[in-house]
Amino acid sequence: MVAISRAEKDMIAIPVEEYEGMMETLEILSNPETAKRILKSIEEVKEGETISENEFAEKFDL
């Protein structure tokens, strides 16, 4: 990231990949239901409510 100061406006320049990642994150988190599911998942992990890779594969027929 590069900060650019001009008389009229301050700006930053970031790599396109980083910008696209930020936009994707904003899009995901702007959906209230998706944001709730993500927060719930984080809490489940903190509480140790996880499954193994094998259990996951069985659950989703992988």
Express each pLDDT in 33-57 by its tens digit: 999 999 999 999 999 999 999 999 9
Greater model confidence, 55 or 8: 55
- Total number of domains in the chain: 1
Parent domain of 15: 2-59
Residue 36 one-letter amino acid: K
Instruction: Report the predicted TM-score, pTM, of the whole model to 2 decimal places.
Output: 0.55
Distance CA 23, CA 47 (A): 30
- Tell me, rounded to whole angstroms, the distance of Cα 8 from its chain centroid: 33
Distance separating alpha carbons of residues 31 and 38, to the nearest angstrom = 11
CA gap 34, 1 in Å, rounded:
29
Query: Is the pLDDT assigned to residue 22 strictly greater than 90?
Result: yes
